[in-house]
Chain A
Amino acid sequence: MIELRDIKKGFGDKEILKGVSATMESGKVNLIIGSSGSGKTVMMKCIVGLMTVNSGTILYNDQDFTAMDEHEKKAIRQEIGMLFQGSALFDSMTVEQNVMFPLDMFGKGSYKEKKKRVMECLDRVNLKDAAKRFPAEISGGMKKRVGIARAIVLNPKYLFCDEPNSGLDPQTSLLIDKLIKELTLEYTITTVINTHDMNTVMESGDHIIYMYQGVKQWEGSNEEIIFSKDEKLNDFIFASEFLRDAKEMRQMEMFRDKNWRERLPGDKPGK
């Protein structure tokens, strides 16, 4: 579990995160959504330690990440897997070498054992056949899948994905979402996804944090989003006529469901 307590981050006079508190639970897909410039990328970079917060606390399973020294942070980072927006694969290495890299750097065991683990991960993302190819020779969706394989090769406790669907067609996007969701449940990982993709929000987001101008505007599940009365959230999520219609249809479907009627959600306003 990851817990954020009143984190603030700014660059010069400009305040980007204005005191955000949130909890990201393990075994769940936690989404950070928001329009461009709302602070979600900065928030993710602060959580993984690529940026330091100005104030506030970030807890990884009750361990204060912000108070750790470099050595302790390294230990936590080895439990983190991250999928970058542009995949961030090493150009000079093959797909297999890319996935093998974290094992070579930190993993123990023989080459045979490492290779077996790499093949397991590549098989899990359906890319066993592309093992000998270079990143320049594979498609964007395949690169994302290699990125996922590299992120999970050391069995991480935390998986971070920065815009995993950007630049992908809807079908591949769904495939990536499904894969991330399955891995989250399979390994009971705390998954945090930074996304704009409404499919991800509605299909795989267990817990959603909506950021607006550096503040947590709304927090809840993807089912609760349908009934949310938060104007800013509705404007952001259901921006088009088509999406508004889809929302109404979903609402009607959920009203018909007796179980849902009994636990009608209410808004959980942000801090």
Chain B
Amino acid sequence: MEFRFFYHFGAYLLMLKGMFSKPENPKMYWKQLMQQSVDIGIGSLGIVFIISLFMGGVTTLQTAYQLVSPIIPKATIAQIVRDTIILEFAPTLTSIVLAGVVGSKIASELGNMRISEQIDALEIMGINTRGYLVMPKILGALLTIPCLVVIAGFLGIWGGKMAGEMAGIISNDEFIQGLRQELKIYNIFFALSKSYTFAFIISSVSAYYGYNVQGGALEIGKASTTAVVVSCVLILFSDYALSAILL
């Protein structure tokens, strides 16, 4: 897919606009939303669980490695781990991994439906395919990805605590004491804002590339890769933009 920014941006906006029409049968749309929420949410739990634990553990070890001054209390390590995970690692790292897992799944699923004429079959039946196929994916992602980010945050901090204790760097009590020091609720709001933005980017960009596949099996793979790459770039760009605006 060649790089034609304005063409793709225009087509992307038209796809989003096209999602909004009266559902042919709200029950079927609801069923589809629930199915997508399960696919995206439950389907990604395993990978989120693994990366969060290691992300927290590594953050603790590396923070402790850099804080060698005896003047700095050990509880500061927990404070840094907590804020790093809440502000950056849980929303951004999790979303980048989800761009790969969920984004490629959405793009290849829709791409396959396009190539095998399933989307045409739905259109012929008189179904708004953008509304029936794309919208539930975006809503499903908006419902579940922030939950996954919250879970990633908790697991990351827990992983950090475990790693600190196992390595003999910081005791459980000191870690918990550090977690309680100067917690800013705004940081959690910031992390959730990022997670909603990233969820929208991952689902809508991947759906756009999958929905507009033309050609054969090779193009599905290409669309899937493009969807992941573009999603990751947009996640990093919006991460910077949100940090500059909200912090």
Interface string of A42-53 (1 = CB under 8 A from B): 000000111000
Q: What A residues does B126 contact at CB under 8 A? A: 73-75, 77-78, 106
A67 to B44, CA, bound (A): 46
Interface string of A39-79 (1 = CB under 8 A from B): 00000000011100000000000000000001001110110
Q: What A residues does B127 contact at CB under 8 A? A: 105
CB <8 Å contact, B118 and A78: no
CB <8 Å contact, A106 and B125: yes
Number of A-B residue pairs at CB separation under 8 A: 49
Q: What B residues does A176 contact at CB under 8 A? A: none
* Closest 5 pairs (CB-CB, A-B): A77-B126, A88-B117, A88-B121, A74-B126, A84-B117
A160 to B25, CA, bound (A): 24
A106 to B26, CA, bound (A): 11
CB <8 Å contact, A82 and B124: yes
Interface string of A85-104 (1 = CB under 8 A from B): 11011110000000000101
The A interface, classified by DSSP as helix, strand, loop or mixed, is mixed
CB <8 Å contact, A50 and B25: no
Among A84, A89, A90, point to the contact of B120 (Cβ < 8 A): A84
| Distance in Å: Cβ of B213 to nearest Cβ of chain A | 15
Q: What B residues does A226 contact at CB under 8 A? A: none
For residue A45, which residue of chain B has the nearest CB?
B120
CB <8 Å contact, A84 and B125: no
Q: Is A118 an interface residue (CB 8 A)?
A: no
Q: What B residues does A84 contact at CB under 8 A? A: 117, 120-121
| Distance in Å: Cβ of B218 to nearest Cβ of chain A | 17
Q: Is B123 an interface residue (CB 8 A)?
A: yes
A104 to B125, CA, bound (A): 12
Q: Is B24 an interface residue (CB 8 A)?
A: yes
A90 to B112, CA, bound (A): 11
CB <8 Å contact, B24 and A88: no
Among B21, B24, B118, B123, point to the contact of A105 (Cβ < 8 A): B24
